[in-house]
A and B are shown apart, each in its own frame.
Chain A
Amino acid sequence: MRLIFSGALALGLTAAGTAQANIDIPVTYLRAEQVAPPVLSNLDPDPDDLGIAGARTALADNLTTGQFMGHRYALDVVSVEPDGDVLSTARAALAASPFLILDAPADTLLAIADLPEAAGALIFNSTAPDVTLRDADCRANVLHTIASTAMRTDALMQVLMQKRWTDIVAIVGTHPDDLAYEAALDRSATKFGLEIRARETWAFDADMRRSAATEVPLFTQGFGDYDVLVVADEIGDFGEYILYNTWEPRPVAGSVGMSPRTWSPVLEQWAAVQLQNRFEDMQGRSMRDEDYGAWTALRSIGEAVTRTNSADPATLRAFLLSDDFRLDGFKGRALSFRHWNGQLRQPVPVVHPRALVTLAPVEGFLHRVTELDTLGVDEPETACTAFAD
């Protein structure tokens, strides 16, 4: 699949009063398609254009600004099938443009970032939440726009602290993503002086659509009394069947229930409703985390080009990592990049399916630089050295 959206949106009103610099900014959105694991709940299949739709919305935003500046953006969307040769596709993309938005799993992302052709490129990881990509496995040519798992679990633990739901138990799935989420939950709990008191592994292979009401009460009875049940089910397998079926009448949080997200269709404050409306009008569905990751990636490129009047990836990277970069991400405060690991610094909404519960960082969690850095891997603890110079 290859679709090209070009900057032919000229409306004939490039105007005087603005320094005109005719600059072309071609960007590739590269998706390494992954085989989705089987899940019990079939309610919410991923849309075919997940992530891509966010990039398309950002392209329209950038084109509008670009028409006043003489900046022409183009978006080339390339999707490689699960058994396809993603590395040669990436080589071709990098030959055409140094700007690459990647929707790929961590190992593929690192292989692409380490290609000789990627030296000096500006790559955005818009979908992979792995903590290690922001830590020991960071790369100087990769910036991360989706929130890391650690940022999300830190946000969740802050909310649990705020609500004094400190007696925490957990149910953990068996998928590697579930285990990574569990590890992040443990790390976050320790960070804020909490602990997960008891945990069970979900390894059933029954179809819970038929038996949740009988299985889950028994399964959760052994926890005894507790404040909140945290579920690690990052692939969306069994978690939805835990809610309202627990032995004790207690709230559920984590991958389901009250959930920390990069973005959510329930956000409307901070002018988020404008972005939601724009996205829904253009794409015919609501905006998800991966869409927001791609949107912030392409908008970051656009904002940096607007401010620097340059399409040089080194110039743009330096600006993006500087204090002068402030992106309006519709989450109540300016977004910027952490100069030590390239992660987009951003608030993390903790939501339930129909409304926002709290926007983290939660009031009272202080930081010497910015409270936003109470979420995720902070500068003093990072194992990332690629950004040192």
Chain B
Amino acid sequence: MTIPLKGPLTALTLILAATPSLAAEIWVTNEKDDSISVIDVDTLEVTRTIPTGERPRGIIFSHDYSVVYICASDSDAVQVMDPDTGEIMHDLPSGEDPEQFALAPDNRHLYIANEDDAITTVVDTETRTVVAQINVGIEPEGMAVSPDGKVAITTSETTNMAHWIDTETQSLFANTLVDSRPRHAEFVKDGTEMWVSSEIGGTITVFDAATQAEKAKIGFEIDGIHPDRVQPVGFKFTKGDTHAFVALGPANHVAVVNADTYEVEDYLLVGRRVWHMAFSPDKDLLFTTNGVSGDVTVIDVASREPVKSIKVGRFPWGAAMRP
């Protein structure tokens, strides 16, 4: 369709250009740039850079994608942003130094790890009030909420535990030891399993969620890289939870783990110091944040091949998908 341009229509075009594109996006927090880089999933280009509070790390969208939550660690705030405009709408009371968080299935309660305070803070995002603060181990970091919303997990990096929180009473009901420096936790397989990565321990521990018993421990081994440098941090599961993609930090690789046999099937070379990751909406592309190289590696999930590296801000950390 070609239409001769006239004055009013030009103005309309400008308005259209100012509204967000309809393509899915990957939002990446840049820890040392106090910004978010927005990547268009179709073009694999950075389309926007949005300023945030200081030292943004954890990032998640609400379940209806109407707002995005950002842990601005050095601002001691969780910021709530309108993803269309990039405007900060308000801050949530978060406790000190929020690093990671998880949103309950009710789309309302945010579980926040306060790294400097040995506390998990539960915030009601509607009333913007703190509902509970739970004492956990030193340097809480990884956060997860079970699909039924009944259990929340905090991992503490120096205490080396996964703390199991009953969300009804907001109190601990179990504390399970894992290997050194646990970083990330996820419930998988309809909440029957809970996985925790241990950065310095170099392992992932798989728990049976019902009994909190250790079910498996996954180790990693890459030719030519000393085990000390193989440091699992973030991980995500493919469609049907059949495989986990695991970021291995300074080993500069992502491992592909068979989630049924717990065997490592592949190691994929990515950028330097890979932290976290997010999938495209249909999970055919995976985007990893590479802290030291300041870029994002795009992995084709089916072929397990890195297909592109995208320059973002300094020290990209968290990643979240917006459909």
A residues adjacent to B (C-beta < 8 A)? 11, 13, 15-18, 61, 64-65, 68, 271, 274, 277-278, 281, 303, 306-307, 326-328, 332-334, 370-372
Number of chain B residues close to chain A: CB under 8 A: 35
Q: For residue B116, which residues in chain A have a CB less than 8 angstroms away from its CB?
A: 274, 277-278, 281
List 7 extra interface pairs beyond A64-B158, A328-B158, A333-B228, CB under 8 A: A13-B135, A13-B171, A15-B175, A64-B159, A65-B159, A278-B138, A334-B202
Distance from B171 Cβ to chain A, minimum over Cβ atoms (Å): 7
Contact indicator B160/A65 (Cβ below 8 Å): yes
**Total number of residue pairs linking A and B with CB closer than 8 Å:** 82
Contact indicator B115/A274 (Cβ below 8 Å): yes
In the complex, what residue of chain A is closest to B315 when comparing beta carbons?
A: A269
Contact indicator A326/B201 (Cβ below 8 Å): yes
In the complex, what residue of chain A is closest to B97 when comparing beta carbons?
A: A277
> A307 vs B174: C-alpha distance in the bound complex, in angstroms?
17
Contact indicator A370/B180 (Cβ below 8 Å): no
Within 8 A of A (CB), among B136-188: 137-139, 157-161, 163-164, 171-177, 179-181
In the complex, what residue of chain A is closest to B115 when comparing beta carbons?
A: A274
In the complex, what residue of chain B is closest to A332 when comparing beta carbons?
A: B250
With A18-B177, A326-B179, A333-B228 as given contacts, are A65 and B200 in contact (CB-CB < 8 Å)? no
> A68 vs B157: C-alpha distance in the bound complex, in angstroms?
14
> A332 vs B273: C-alpha distance in the bound complex, in angstroms?
11
> A39 vs B254: C-alpha distance in the bound complex, in angstroms?
53
Decide yes or no whether B118 CB sits under 8 A from chain A: yes
Within 8 A of A (CB), among B175-225: 175-177, 179-181, 199-202, 212
Contact indicator A334/B201 (Cβ below 8 Å): yes
Decide yes or no whether B108 CB sits under 8 A from chain A: no
With A13-B135, A16-B174, A334-B201 as given contacts, are A64 and B118 in contact (CB-CB < 8 Å)? yes
Contact indicator A17/B175 (Cβ below 8 Å): yes
B residues adjacent to A (C-beta < 8 A)? 97, 115-116, 118, 135, 137-139, 157-161, 163-164, 171-177, 179-181, 199-202, 212, 226, 228-229, 231, 250
Q: For residue A334, which residues in chain B have a CB less than 8 angstroms away from its CB?
A: 180, 200-202, 228
> A332 vs B177: C-alpha distance in the bound complex, in angstroms?
21
The 7 closest A-B pairs by CB, nearest first: A17-B174, A333-B228, A65-B159, A328-B200, A68-B175, A15-B172, A328-B181
Q: For residue A278, which residues in chain B have a CB less than 8 angstroms away from its CB?
A: 116, 138
When the two chains form the complex, which single residue of A18, A64, A326 contacts B180, counting CB atoms closer than 8 Å? A326
> A17 vs B211: C-alpha distance in the bound complex, in angstroms?
9
> A256 vs B149: C-alpha distance in the bound complex, in angstroms?
56
Q: For residue A332, which residues in chain B have a CB less than 8 angstroms away from its CB?
A: 250
In the complex, what residue of chain B is closest to A366 when comparing beta carbons?
A: B226
Q: For residue A306, which residues in chain B have a CB less than 8 angstroms away from its CB?
A: 160, 177
> A15 vs B139: C-alpha distance in the bound complex, in angstroms?
19
Contact indicator B157/A17 (Cβ below 8 Å): no
Q: For residue A328, which residues in chain B have a CB less than 8 angstroms away from its CB?
A: 157-158, 180-181, 199-200
Contact indicator B158/A61 (Cβ below 8 Å): yes
Distance from B161 Cβ to chain A, minimum over Cβ atoms (Å): 6
Q: For residue A274, which residues in chain B have a CB less than 8 angstroms away from its CB?
A: 115-116, 139, 157-158
Q: For residue B160, which residues in chain A have a CB less than 8 angstroms away from its CB?
A: 65, 303, 306
Could you list 18 A-B pairs, sorted by A, with CB under 8 Å? A15-B175, A17-B173, A17-B212, A61-B138, A61-B159, A64-B118, A65-B161, A68-B163, A271-B157, A274-B157, A274-B158, A277-B97, A278-B138, A306-B177, A328-B158, A328-B199, A334-B228, A370-B228
Q: For residue B137, which residues in chain A have a CB less than 8 angstroms away from its CB?
A: 64-65, 68
Q: For residue A61, which residues in chain B have a CB less than 8 angstroms away from its CB?
A: 138, 158-159
Contact indicator A17/B164 (Cβ below 8 Å): yes
> A21 vs B279: C-alpha distance in the bound complex, in angstroms?
43
Distance from B128 Cβ to chain A, minimum over Cβ atoms (Å): 26
> A328 vs B226: C-alpha distance in the bound complex, in angstroms?
16
In the complex, what residue of chain B is closest to A274 when comparing beta carbons?
A: B139
In the complex, what residue of chain A is closest to B177 when comparing beta carbons?
A: A306
